[in-house]
Structures are given as C-alpha cells and as structure tokens.
Amino acid sequence: MSRERQHKHGAPVTMRDIAKEAAVSVATVSHVVNNKEGARIGEETRQRVHEAIDHLGYRTNALAKTLSVGSSRFIGLVADAIATTPFAGQIIHGAQDEAWKHGYVLLVANTEGNQAAENDAIAMMLEHQVKGILYSTWYHREIDVPESLHQTDTVLVDCFSTGSGLPAVVPNEQQGGKTATEELITAGHQRIAFINTTTPSPALTGRLAGYRSALEAAEIDFDESLVIPAVPEQEGGYEATAAIIASGATAVFCHNDRVAMGLYDGLREQGLDVPKDMAVVGFDNQEVIAAHLRPPLSTVALPHYELGAAGIRVLLGLEPEQDDEMYLIECPAIRRQSV
Amino acid sequence: MSRERQHKHGAPVTMRDIAKEAAVSVATVSHVVNNKEGARIGEETRQRVHEAIDHLGYRTNALAKTLSVGSSRFIGLVADAIATTPFAGQIIHGAQDEAWKHGYVLLVANTEGNQAAENDAIAMMLEHQVKGILYSTWYHREIDVPESLHQTDTVLVDCFSTGSGLPAVVPNEQQGGKTATEELITAGHQRIAFINTTTPSPALTGRLAGYRSALEAAEIDFDESLVIPAVPEQEGGYEATAAIIASGATAVFCHNDRVAMGLYDGLREQGLDVPKDMAVVGFDNQEVIAAHLRPPLSTVALPHYELGAAGIRVLLGLEPEQDDEMYLIECPAIRRQSV
DNA sequence: GTGAAAGCGCTAACAA
DNA sequence: TTGTTAGCGCTTTCAC
C-alpha cells in the first residue's frame, strides 16, 4: 500500500524500474512476477523484487506481454442487440464469466444489426489479435455469416448458418417446447392450446415439435385447431384470447412471456382466473414480466447465460466435440404460480 | 480480395512481409499504411505497397502499435448488472458508439455487484493500459468508489460519490419528475397522485421535488396525502390501487413503469379505464412494458444511452467543464396513450 | 523519396 | 541462481 509514485499520468513503472530498484535484471523480475517454474530464484532476491514492486506500484503491461508471447488473451464478442433486450446482456455475462475463468478478456461490440458496424467491429477485433470471436444474435435464427469471420476461429451463439462449417450453440427449442407442455400435462390438463408465433423461425418449428412430442408421450391426440398463431407480442396474446376460450382448452402454452402477458389481460377481461379457469405457461423467462405478473408466470427459460458460457468453451476447445457442430443447450422449466 | 494466404492460423502477415514483397523498407510500409503527412512517398511505391497489402492480406497489429506509440485506445467500462436489466445494455451501447467515434474500443466487464470481480476487472483494465474507466451502476445511486479506480482517469455513470472528486454523469431526476407531472397537468388534471418509491435514493427525492415544482408552477397546492409510497415493483403499484382511488385523484404519476403496470392491473380489476377514468404516466421507459401495456404507457425515459455517451465525452475531455462535476442528463417525455 | 536503427515493455533461450 | 541477448510488430527520428 505504500506506493511512492501513483503514476496516474506520467511515465508508468516498468520492469526496468523494478529491476533497477531491486538491483537485479529484468529477466529476474519477469521470473518472479510470473512465478516461473523452471527458474529458481533466491528467496531474498524474490523478496527484494516484491518489495520494489509494491514500493513503486508496478503493474504488468498486458499488451507488451501479448506481443512478446505471441498470443493474445482477447476474445471478441459481437452482439446485434445489446441495447434492446436483456437477453444479450446475459449472453455477455455468461461469456465473460467463462472467459475469465480461462484467463481471457472480452472485447465487446454492439452492432445493432448494422452491417457496417459489424464489419468495423470484426476488423477491430482482428487487429487486436483476438483468439477468436463469438458472434451472437438476440433471438435464435439462421444467419448469413460475414465473410471476415472466417479469418479467425468463430462460434455462433444463439444463431447458426448451415453449410458455413461454423460451430453453433443454440437453445434446444424442441426440448423446451416439450418441457413447457409437460408442465401442463403433469398438472392434469388434457386439452392444451398452443399460441405459436407467426414468424418463421427455429422457435416456431422447434417448440411446436416439442409440444407435439409431449402430447404424444402422454397419449393425447394432437388437435390442429388447438394451435393458434399470433404475433409474438402482448398484442398477439391479447387478441388470441377469444380463440383460446372458444377452443375449449383448459391450459395454454404461450410462445413467449409477452404473449402470456397479453393473454392474462384478455382472460381477466373475460372474468377468467389464472390458473383456476385457465393454466398458462410462457417461454423465455423474461424477468420483468414473468416474475411480476399476477399470478407470477410459470415458464421455460431461454438459457442465455449458458449459451454465452458454452460458446466460450466451444471456442476454446473445451467442449466435447459434436458431430454436426450444433450444440443444443437445455431450456429449463421455471415454476411459478400460473399452472 | 485476392488474398494469397488467409493465415487463419500460422504466422500472421506482418509489415516485414509487406516490405519484402513490395521491395521497400518497413518504415515505408508504415508510412503508407498510416498515410503519414510528413513523409512523401512516390506514387508508384505507394501502389506497390498497397498491392502487397491486399495480396498478402495484411492487417495491422493494434497491440504492437499501442506499445510503440505509447498510448492505448482502450476504454474500460465496468458495469454492475449487465445481465439483469436492459439498462446496462443501453449504457454500453451509448458508450461504445461514442468511443468508436473517437477511435476507442471498449473493454467491458460485468461485476454483478461482486467486490472481488470488480477489483479483478479494474486490475485487468489497468494492465491493458486503458485510457480511462467508466464505472456504471444500473440504477442511480451514491456509491463508494473502489480504491483502485483512482489509479486512472475515471468517470462515474449513473452513480456518484460526493467527496471523491470524480466526475459523475447522472439522469436529471428532478427535471424528469417535473416533466412527468407536467404531462398530466397539460392534459388538464389538477388532482394528481404520485406513487413514489420507498427506497431512499436520488430518484425518490429528485422525482418528488420535480413533482412539487411542476405543481407549484401550475399553482396547484401540494397535498401530502396524494403522495403514496410503494415498493417500486408491479406488486407495489397493484397494492397502491385502493389508496389511489380513495385519494380522489384523476391522474397518477408512477415512480416507474413496473409500478404503473401493477396499477393497471388494480385499476382494471376495479373496472376503471385508463386514461378515461385515470390518467397514468410512468418513468424509465422500459420498452417491454411501457410500449405494450394496454393502453401503451406514456412515460419519461431514463437516458441510459446518453449517460454512456456523455460518460465517454467527459472522460475524453470533450464535454464542457462543469463546476460541481455533476453532469445532469435530461429525461425526455415519451408520449403514448395513457394520458 | 526512402531506409537504417533505436526503442516501446516484456519473454525466453542460453550463458555464466 | 541470475544475467545477457535477441526478438515480438510497429513507429519514428534522422540520414542518405
């Protein structure tokens, strides 16, 4: 704590300064700083160096080190919608935790869907000698991979590109849909409606497939009229209310939490109670909504944190190899009080 | 586009390679790459160099450059809740846009409130020779500044620390509260309730002050019984319903959008219509909620993007100096249909 | 107009 | 056990 010079500005303290102060060579300083295995350093020398270090307030220069050892500790993360959803934040969080665990640091770039920003971001990362890049989107979908991504190791997160040869880490939509439906079945429901999205996507097909497989496993006949398409927003859920009631269902699986929120409004307007008159489960586990609806919404979580973390592991080659380069991450059930 | 070697792995192309290929010295290559003013380079030489560059697929090594010129282009951003709110994302977005505009790159670290993670993050940034650090929180409050932040230039974003001497960029709560109230007054309301938070904070006092000053400006007497304390969540808003109705107010300014959402539920349950029977305005402009409630909620936005951008400007010394080192950012009204 | 050489802070053989 | 030396990729005087 007894720093002589704080060097907030002005020449920073370098290894040479330490070497001089401790009357040793920079090589020696380097050795003690990095606790080198091979090099035996006398205990008293080590002492002197350490004293000099915290006397002068030395801090290693990571950039110089990188240049010298040849490989950087940066991993780039380009995201398309950091600002507009809480989801990207969780991907970042997961990626960061995992990266740090392995001694890496994240270089984050937000592109907000802008092509030019994206290219700039990738170029910037390449110039900073990143170890690799995580390319992520805020909702699961197929994408065209920017050409420049092929100049380094990259893994796709929450998106994929068939034929690109790039590994992708995505949520297991089918398992998620199945899980959601099972929550309802387990609660005793037989006539279960499904408000699906209208936008073509892995979520649309995956969750539907999951819904069907859960019914099948429970030996409930699939009834096409029970799947109701809706815009995946509150408005869509609200507007689907009449159809849901007309369907005679006693439970409904909503494509996402926002749809469920809209449905709650519609149901309440008709004097229907959740879950007594109608059980509902959502999807996404969007905190601000799901946890605070009345009653709190049971849902299935999109594992964004895990997507980010797994992305890093795949990039670093720590994840067991898969055949098809598609890493499916499980979507866990989150039980609250709407079922 | 005719890269001969893509060097995805293997020795990267360096300036030396270019120099050799173009039969010039590395100094010359450096000059043309950086478009140096001083150095005159023959047109044909410049040509040759450029050809070699995109023939070999050269990309400058930002780290080596930094080491050489002595000052880095990194700016650190430490955030306490990237994952749990969409707000941090907007701060990052604003900071990034502004940083890029000036040729800087963001090193982001999420600490999720963890003291150790915070220290590690700051140490990491210092080791990477950041130009400075933006220290941000996801809601406006007073903080204790980590000791290590004093080792570099830092600016506080969405938080402050009196006596620390550090510049802080924060939302103008009072103006925001005034704006919100004015929206209601302008719509003709005279008896306006205010559901305030129960947690001591700049938001609590600032918005209340703004509320009072708006009333005063409109010559409406302040009635203490019209300010109702509530937990700043949906639950709080819902529970405040009875008090609101009992107060005889025709309009209510909610401490935040979540409270407004809860209030909507309570009001609907009593058969009251928004805005006909009760006008309501929120605060925060939390997209998922405000824009999708029925009717869509008029609110006042917390200027997170601007906070991030202004933070960078202050750090870079681009913002006109203020006396008290408190930079107040305006909270604009967002008009939708609840008034 | 262009190049040689020194140096940024650090690491890594190899000597001593 | 410790020091010498040669780079890592780039910039920047200062000669030619």
Q: Which residues contact B230 (CB under 8 A, 6 or more apart)?
A: B195, B196, B197, B198, B236, B237, B239, B240, B255, B259
Q: Within a domain: residue B336?
A: no
B295 cis-preceded (ω within 30 degrees of 0): yes
CATH of the domain at A145: 3.40.50.2300
First-last CA distance in chain B: 57
Taking the CA of residue A94 and the nearest CA in chain B, the distance in Å comes to: 9
Contact between B292 and A258 using a beta-carbon 8 Å cutoff: yes
With residues binned 3-state (H G I as helix, E B as strand, rest as coil), the percentages for chain B, rounded to 5, are 45, 20, 40
For the residues of A129-143, what is the DSSP string, one character each?
T-S-EEEEEEEEEE-
Chain B residues whose CB is inside 8 A of the A72 CB are 63
Place of tokens 């055949």: A323
Local confidence band at A274 (pLDDT 50, 70, 90 cut-offs): very high
Q: Which nucleotide is nearest to A34 (CA to C1')?
A: C11
CATH of the domain at B52: 1.10.260.40
Residue A2 has pLDDT above 90, yes or no: no
Q: What average pLDDT does this structure show over B146-162?
A: 95
Coil, strand or helix: which one is A128?
A: coil
Q: Within a domain: residue B38?
A: yes
Q: What average pLDDT does this structure show over A25-43?
A: 87
Which residue gives the smallest C-alpha to C1' distance to C7?
B68
Q: Which amino acid is at B310?
A: A
Residues B156 and B227 in one domain: no
Task: Please check whether residue A251 is in contact with residue A193, taking contact to mean a CB–CB distance below 8 angstroms.
Answer: yes
Residues B143 and B111 in one domain: yes
Q: What average pLDDT does this structure show over B98-107?
A: 95
Give the CA B23 to C1' C12 distance in Å: 31
Eight-state DSSP code of residue A12:
P
Residues A194 and A163 in one domain: no
- CA–chain centroid gap for B45, Å, is 46
Residues B51 and B139 in one domain: no
Domain count, chain B: 3
Q: Which residues contact B312 (CB under 8 A, 6 or more apart)?
A: B75, B94, B95, B98, B99, B102, B104, B134
- pLDDT, mean over chain B: 94
Find, among B177, B127, B158, B169, the residue nearest to B331 by Cα.
B177
A272 exposed, middle or buried (CB, 10 Å; 0-12, 13-18, 19+)? middle
Q: Which two tokens stand for residue B189?
A: 């309301």
Q: Within a domain: residue B338?
A: no
Q: Look at A277 and B88; give whichever has higher pLDDT.
A: A277
In terms of pTM, does the model score above 0.75?
yes
Q: Within a domain: residue A126?
A: yes
Contact between A288 and B288 using a beta-carbon 8 Å cutoff: yes
d(CA A315, CA A312): 5
Q: What average pLDDT does this structure show over A151-160?
A: 96
Which residues of A spanning 31-50 put their CB closer than 7 angstroms to strand C? 33-34, 36, 39
pLDDT of residue B45: 93
Q: Which residues contact B339 (CB under 8 A, 6 or more apart)?
A: B183, B184, B187, B251, B275, B279, B280, B281, B298
Q: Look at A40 and B333; give whichever has higher pLDDT.
A: B333
pLDDT digits (tens, 9 = 90+) for B156-178: 999 999 999 999 999 999 999 99
d(CA B309, CA B93): 8
Give the CA B113 to C1' C11 distance in Å: 36
Residues A218 and A262 in one domain: yes
Local confidence band at A339 (pLDDT 50, 70, 90 cut-offs): very high
Local confidence band at A4 (pLDDT 50, 70, 90 cut-offs): very low
Residues B166 and B309 in one domain: yes
Chain A residues whose CB is inside 8 A of the B268 CB are 265, 268-269
| Least confident span in A26-40, A96-110, A142-156, B183-197 | A26-40
Q: Within a domain: residue A188?
A: yes
Taking the CA of residue B221 and the nearest CA in chain A, the distance in Å comes to: 35
Residues B183 and B295 in one domain: yes
CA distances from B274 to B148, B156, B232, B263, B271 (A): 50, 39, 20, 10, 10
B320 cis-preceded (ω within 30 degrees of 0): no
A114-122's contacts with Cβ under 8 Å and 24+ in sequence apart are A118/A78, A118/A80, A118/A146, A119/A146, A119/A148, A120/B100, A121/A76, A121/A78, A122/A76, A122/A78, A122/A146, A122/A148, A122/A149
Q: Which residues contact B1 (CB under 8 A, 6 or more apart)?
A: B54
d(CA B130, CA B75): 5
Contact between B84 and A83 using a beta-carbon 8 Å cutoff: no
pLDDT of residue B7: 55
Residues B167 and B183 in one domain: no
Residues B193 and B294 in one domain: yes
- CA–chain centroid gap for B80, Å, is 12
Q: Which of B5, B63, B87 to probe by mutation at the A interface, max A CB count within 10 Å?
A: B63
Taking the CA of residue A218 and the nearest CA in chain B, the distance in Å comes to: 35
Domain coverage including residue A121:
70-171+305-329
Residue B28 has pLDDT above 80, yes or no: yes
Local confidence band at B283 (pLDDT 50, 70, 90 cut-offs): very high
Q: Which two tokens stand for residue A108?
A: 């984050």
Q: What average pLDDT does this structure show over B112-129?
A: 94
Residues B178 and B161 in one domain: no
Task: Please check whether residue B309 is in contact with residue B252, taking contact to mean a CB–CB distance below 8 angstroms.
Answer: no
d(CA B290, CA B296): 6
Query: How many Cα neighbours within 13 Å face the side chain of A286?
Result: 26
The region that residue A129 occupies, defined by phi over 0 for left and psi between -120 and 50 for alpha, beta otherwise, is: left
Chain A residues whose CB is inside 8 A of the B287 CB are 84
Contact between A59 and B233 using a beta-carbon 8 Å cutoff: no
Task: Please check whether residue B129 is in contact with residue B72, taking contact to mean a CB–CB distance below 8 angstroms.
Answer: yes
Find, among B265, B239, B237, the residue nearest to B252 by Cα.
B237
Q: What average pLDDT does this structure show over A7-23?
A: 87
Q: Which nucleotide is nearest to A48 (CA to C1')?
A: D2
Strand partners, A77: A108, A134
Q: Within a domain: residue A337?
A: no
Coil, strand or helix: which one is B281?
A: strand
Residue ending a domain, choose from A17, A35, A60: A60
Q: Within a domain: residue A113?
A: yes
Task: Please check whether residue A56 is in contact with residue A42, taking contact to mean a CB–CB distance below 8 angstroms.
Answer: no
pLDDT digits (tens, 9 = 90+) for A187-218: 999 999 999 999 999 999 999 999 999 999 99
Residue B2 has pLDDT above 70, yes or no: no
d(CA B105, CA B130): 10
Contact between A67 and B63 using a beta-carbon 8 Å cutoff: yes
Q: Which residues of A4-13 are buried (b: 16+ CB within 10 A; e: fewer)?
A: eeebeeeebb
Beta A299-300 vs B168-171: how paired, if at all?
unpaired
Residue B321 has pLDDT above 50, yes or no: yes
pLDDT of residue A113: 87
Strand partners, A53: none
CB neighbours of residue A79 within 10 Å: 30
pLDDT digits (tens, 9 = 90+) for A100-146: 999 999 999 999 889 999 999 999 999 999 999 999 999 999 999 99
pLDDT digits (tens, 9 = 90+) for B35-78: 987 778 899 999 999 999 999 999 999 999 999 998 899 999 99
pLDDT digits (tens, 9 = 90+) for A50-70: 999 999 999 999 999 999 998
Q: Which two tokens stand for residue A324?
A: 């098809």
Q: Which nucleotide is nearest to A28 (CA to C1')?
A: D2
Place of tokens 């601000």: A288
Q: Which amino acid is at A14?
A: T
Q: Within a domain: residue A339?
A: no
Residues B177 and B275 in one domain: yes
pLDDT of residue B88: 86
Q: What average pLDDT does this structure show over B108-114?
A: 91
For the residues of B19-67, what is the DSSP string, one character each?
HHHHTS-HHHHHHHHTT-SS----HHHHHHHHHHHHHHT----HHHHHH
Local confidence band at B8 (pLDDT 50, 70, 90 cut-offs): confident
Q: Which nucleotide is nearest to B67 (CA to C1')?
A: C8
Local confidence band at B213 (pLDDT 50, 70, 90 cut-offs): very high
**In strand D, which positions have an atom below 7 A from any protein CB?**
1-5, 7-14
B82: nearest CB among A8, A59, A89? A89
Residues A34 and A178 in one domain: no
pLDDT of residue A7: 56
